[in-house]
Amino acid sequence: MDCSLVRTLVHRYCAGEENWVDSRTIYVGHREPPPGAEAYIPQRYPDNRIVSSKYTFWNFIPKNLFEQFRRVANFYFLIIFLVQLIIDTPTSPVTSGLPLFFVITVTAIKQGYEDWLRHKADNAMNQCPVHFIQHGKLVRKQSRKLRVGDIVMVKEDETFPCDLIFLSSNRGDGTCHVTTASLDGESSHKTHYAVQDTKGFHTEEDIGRLHATIECEQPQPDLYKFVGRINVYSDLNDPVVRPLGSENLLLRGATLKNTEKIFGVAIYTGMETKMALNYQSKSQKRSAVEKSMNAFLIVYLCILISKALINTVLKYVWQSEPFRDEPWYNQKTESERQRNLFLKAFTDFLAFMVLFNYIIPVSMYVTVEMQKFLGSYFITWDEDMFDEETGEGPLVNTSDLNEELGQVEYIFTDKTGTLTENNMEFKECCIEGHVYVPHVICNGQVLPESSGIDMIDSSPSVNGREREELFFRALCLCHTVQVKDDDSVDGPRKSPDGGKSCVYISSSPDEVALVEGVQRLGFTYLRLKDNYMEILNRENHIERFELLEILSFDSVRRRMSVIVKSATGEIYLFCKGADSSIFPRVIEGKVDQIRARVERNAVEGLRTLCVAYKRLIQEEYEGICKLLQAAKVALQDREKKLAEAYEQIEKDLTLLGATAVEDRLQEKAADTIEALQKAGIKVWVLTGDKMETAAATCYACKLFRRNTQLLELTTKRIEEQSLHDVLFELSKTVLRHSGTLTRDNLSGLSADMQDYGLIIDGAALSLIMKPREDGSSGNYRELFLEICRSCSAVLCCRMAPLQKAQIVKLIKFSKEHPITLAIGDGANDVSMILEAHVGIGVIGKEGRQAARNSDYAIPKFKHLKKMLLVHGHFYYIRISELVQYFFYKNVCFIFPQFLYQFFCGFSQQTLYDTAYLTLYNISFTSLPILLYSLMEQHVGIDVLKRDPTLYRDVAKNALLRWRVFIYWTLLGLFDALVFFFGAYFVFENTTVTSNGQIFGNWTFGTLVFTVMVFTVTLKLALDTHYWTWINHFVIWGSLLFYVVFSLLWGGVIWPFLNYQRMYYVFIQMLSSGPAWLAIVLLVTVSLLPDVLKKVLCRQLWPTATERVQSPGYQSTCPSAAWYSSHSQQVTLTAWKEKVSTEPPPTLGGSRHHCSSIPSHSCPRSRVGMLV
C-alpha cells in the first residue's frame, strides 16, 4: 500500500498552516506524478472567468440601495421620508421623497450603466477562444473554461489568457518577447525565458508527453515578483528541479510579440491572476473640502434639532391655556385627549424636524459630484498641458481631489525622470585614472579618431591597455539590454563603419546609454543568442562569451553582476553599481583616482557608476553555482537567501573604472520650482541618487539658491558626532533666525534673509525614525520636523521606495496636518504617490506604474505649475463658493418657515406650497450654482500663471474656515429676516386688493418665496466675475423659469391635485402694486449688506486677489529679476567649492566645448522668469 497520500495529508494538516498554505502544487497537463514520487492530491482552483462588475441582475437593486443609503445624507432623508409616511406631518411625503428619489435614481442609473459596460467587457474577455493541448492534440475552447494545469498555446500578437509558466517557444534559444502595456503601460519589448529542460519541446506531441509538477507561491498582486520551482520527471532518473522566477512567468493581459508561438502551463486563473488582483481599488482619499462640508452639515443638523426643540416647547407653552389648545372650531376627539403627553410631544418634535429638514441640502451632494466629474474634463482638455513630443496629455484617474490641487503645502518630487528627462547621454569614462570621452568637441569641430582619446595624460601602458579593454568588455556584457530583432539578418547587426546602428531596448535608460557610449569607444554589443553574448571589438572581430549567471540589480544592493566564460575558457565576474556599493567590495585598483573623478562628476550633476571584476577559477564557479541554485529553488525567503548569496559572491573585486552619464533637466523645471516656491509651497526632492549628484541637480533647478546655506544630516556626519548632537546643532542653527522673519511668508525668496537647505540620506532617516534606545516614548522625529519646517528646501538622497513613503507620512501627520502632493515617474515612486494626499504620476520612460497608481498624470514636470496654480486655484474657489452658497440659500429658505411658526400658533403650518418646497433645490436654484462652479474665473489664467503668490490667498482652506462659514450663515439669517418681516409689514398695511379680495397665507408665502428666489440668484450674479452667454442664459433663464412655472402652476386647475390652494395666487399677487414694490425693495435691501461689505473690504483690507482684480493692476515680481540675473554657474559655486577647486561647466550644457557662453548673457533669460 502506498502511504505517501496519508503521509502528505498528515504533514499538511498537522504540521501547521504556515507549512502549506503559502504554496500550491500544479500538475502540468493534469498528469499524475510517477509512483513513489509524491502523492497526487487534486486541488480545486477557480475557473478562468474574470468578473470586474459589482452587480448581477438579481442583486443590483438591493446592493445599490444599500450602498447609497450608507451615505449619511441619503439615510437621513430616508428617515425623514418614512416619518412623513408614518405620522401626520405638515408637509407631503412627496416633498422629501421626490428629491431623494431623484438623487437615488440618477446615481443608480449612472452606476448601473457603468456596471453594464463592465459586464459587456467581461463577457467579451471570457468568451474569446483559446488553444490548449489535450492528449497531444490542439483543442479550442472558451477562455472561461481554462483550468489550472492546462497547457496553452499562444500565437504572435495574442494576449495571454491567464498567468502561464513559459515552457517553450518556436525559438531555438527558448525566449519570447512580450509587451505589458495593458498591465504597467510599458510599451518596450521584454524578454522572457523558457524552463531550461522544456525549451526543446516544440510540437504538440512533445509538450503533451511532458511529465512535471510545479510548486509556487499562492497568488499575490505584485507584477514583478514570482517564486516557484518545477520538477521535471524522466523515465528513470530523479526529477530535475529548476527554479522559477518572474522571467519565466507570462502574465494575463500581456501580448506576445516577435515570436510565432509559445507553450505555457496555467498556474493562476480568473480572479487569481495578477492582473485581476490589481483590480482592487486604492484606499479612498478624502479632500479637505469634503471634511469641511461634513463638519458644516453637523452644525446645521444641530441647528435643525434646536429649531425643532424650540418649536415643540413653545407649542406646549402656547397651548397651556385651554382655549388655545382646543378652540371651538377644532374640538378634539376622546382618543386624542387621552393620548400620552410624551408621545404627543415626540410626534410634534418629529413633525417640526420634517418641516425644517430642508435646511440640510440633499441636492448639494449630487451637485458636488457633478461639479467634480464635469470639472475634471478641464484638465484633460487643456492644450497647454499636452506634450507634442510624446503625444500624451494629462489624465484624471479620480475627480474627488480636484479642489485639493489648490491646497497643496508640500510637494515631494522624485529626481530622475521627473525633474530630469531620464534621457541619458554617455559623457565619459575613467579607467585607472585615465579619462575617455567619445567624440571630443573643440571649437565646434569633432576631432577625427576621437574614440579612446586620453584627456589627462599619455596613453596607458600595456597592462593598462588590457584593463582598458576589460573595462569596455564589462560594459558590453554586464547589462540586460536587448537588441531589436531583425530576423532577416543573421550575424553582426552593425558594421562599425557602415553607419547602420543597433537599436537597443532596456527597461533602464542608463544601460542603453552605457552600451551606446562604449559602442562609440570601439566595442559594440551585438546580441544574446543561445546563451552566448556577442560583441564586436576594435579589430572588427566578434568575441563570444557564454552567459553563465546574472545577479540581477535591485534597489537595496544598488548593483548587478554577470558571470561569463570567454572563448579561451576564462571565467569572469563583472560587477557594476553605485560607488557606495562597489568601493567597499574592492581590494585592488586605483581607488583614490577613480573616487576623485566620481566625486567631481557627481558635483556636476552627472550620474556615476563604478565597474569592477574578478577572475574565477572553476572550483570557485562551481561553489557559486551550488550557492545560487540552493537559493533559487527555495520557496520560503527566496529573496533573502539570494541577497545573502550575492553578498558572498560580489566581494574581493578589482576596480576597473567608472562611467559618467548625463541626465538633462526637464524643460522649464527650474521655472516651475521657482513659481511653486513663490506660491508658498515647500518642495522636497526624494531620490535614490548620491548626495553630490542630487545636490547639483537641486542647484540647477533653483531649489537651492546662491544664498542657501546647506545643512547636512548624513551618515558621514553622524559617524563623526552622535545623532543627538547633530540634530541639536542643526536645530540651534536654523531656529536662531526663526524669530526675526516668518519663513512661511517669504518661502525662502528674500535675498536679505539667511536661507537654509537640508540634505539627509536614507541611513540617517532610518536612525531618526527608530525610537530611542532608552525606551522613552519620545524620539527625534519632532526635532527633525522642526528643522525641516525652518528650511526652504529639503533634499533626501539615497532613499529606498519605502523611505520615500515614510517621509511623506511623517509630514502628512505632523501637527499642522499640511496637504501633501507626491510626484514621480517610476515604480519606486508608487508608495509615496499612494501615501500623499494627492499623487501625480509623470508619464515617463520608466513605465506607467506611477501614472496608473496616481490620482492625476501629466506628461512633464512643467505642467505641474498650471495644474496647481491655475486649475487647482480655480477648483478650490469654485467648490468652496458652491458649498457656502448651498448652505446660505437653504438658511434663506427655511428660516422664514421657522419665523412663521410664531404667527401660526406653532401649528406646523407650511409657509410655502408643496411644489415650491420640492423644486427649490432641484430646479429653481440648482443650475446657476452648478454653472458657476464649473466656469467661474475670479482672475484671468495669465494672471495666475504670472503671479504665483495669489495661490496663498486660498491656502490652508481659507474660504471654508469657520469665520467665512459663520459670515455666510449670518448673511442668510439677515436675508431671511428681511424676506419675512418685509413681506409681513407690506401685508399688514395692504391686506385688501383693488377688487376687495384679501391676501391670504399662500399669497404671503409666495411673496416671501419670490423675493428669496430672486435674491439668492442675484447674489450669485454679483459674485460672478467671468460672464459668458451660458451664465447669462442659466441665471436669467432660472428666474424666467420660476415666473413661468408659477404662472402655470397657479393659472391652471390641475386635475391630478386633490387641492387647488395655489389657483390664481401668483397672478393675484402680481396684480398688486405694493407686491411689486416689495419685491424690488426687499431684494435690494437683502443684497445691500453683502455689497457694502465687499466694497469696504476691498478699499480697507484688500487681499492680493482683490488687488489683482482692480483695473489699474500691474504685476510686479521684484524677486524674479534678481534671481534671473544669476546663472546656474553662479548658484553651483557654493557647493562645488566643497569638493573641487576647478569650477565645472553648467549642468545641462556640453561639458567638452573649449568655449562656452554664459547663460546670463542672453537678455531673454532675464525676463523668462516673469512669464
CA distances from 719 to 405, 561, 762 (A): 41, 30, 14
| Cα 969 from Cα 833, distance rounded (Å) | 38
| Cα 226 from Cα 215, distance rounded (Å) | 11
- Sequence-separated (6 or more) residues with CB below 8 Å from residue 92: 84, 914
108: which 3 cell numbers? 443608480
708: which 3 cell numbers? 542657501
- Going by DSSP bridges, is the β-strand pair 708-713/240-244 parallel, antiparallel, or unpaired? unpaired
Chain-centroid distance of CA 425 in Å reads 29
SS3 105: helix
Residues pairing with 180 in the sheet: 186
Cβ atoms of 246 and 639 closer than 8 Å:
no
957: left (phi over 0), alpha (psi -120 to 50) or beta: left
43: which 3 cell numbers? 486541488
Q: What are phi and psi of 623, to 5 degrees?
A: -65, -40
The catalytic residue among 163, 414, 671, 947 is 414
Please calculate the CA angle 250-251-255 and round it to the nearest 5 degrees: 80
Q: What are phi and psi of 704, to 5 degrees?
A: -100, 145
| Cα 482 from Cα 785, distance rounded (Å) | 45
| Cα 580 from Cα 797, distance rounded (Å) | 13
- Sequence-separated (6 or more) residues with CB below 8 Å from residue 1116: none
Cβ atoms of 525 and 512 closer than 8 Å:
no
Positive or negative, the CA dihedral 115, 116, 117, 121 is: positive
97: which 3 cell numbers? 421623497
SS3 476: helix
Q: Which residue has the cell 566645448?
A: 1153
Q: Which residue has the cell 504572435?
A: 156
Q: 639: how many CB neighbours lie within 10 A of its CB?
A: 13
423: which 3 cell numbers? 534621457
CA distances from 22 to 218, 282, 783, 1144 (A): 6, 24, 43, 55
| Cα 858 from Cα 865, distance rounded (Å) | 11
Would you give the DSSP letter of residue 454? B
Q: 594: how many CB neighbours lie within 10 A of its CB?
A: 25
- Sequence-separated (6 or more) residues with CB below 8 Å from residue 306: none
Nearest Cα to Cα of residue 99 among 292, 431, 367, 278: 367
- Sequence-separated (6 or more) residues with CB below 8 Å from residue 1064: 1050, 1051
CA distances from 567 to 173, 545, 547, 622 (A): 19, 6, 11, 18
Cβ atoms of 294 and 965 closer than 8 Å:
no
Q: 419: how many CB neighbours lie within 10 A of its CB?
A: 29
DSSP string, 378-421: HHHT-GGG-BTTTTB--EES-STTGGGGGS--EEEE-STTTTEE
325 is an active site residue: no
**CB half-sphere exposure, 818, CA atoms < 13 A:** 21
- Sequence-separated (6 or more) residues with CB below 8 Å from residue 794: 682, 684, 685, 757, 758, 759, 760, 788
* Catalytic annotation, residues: 414
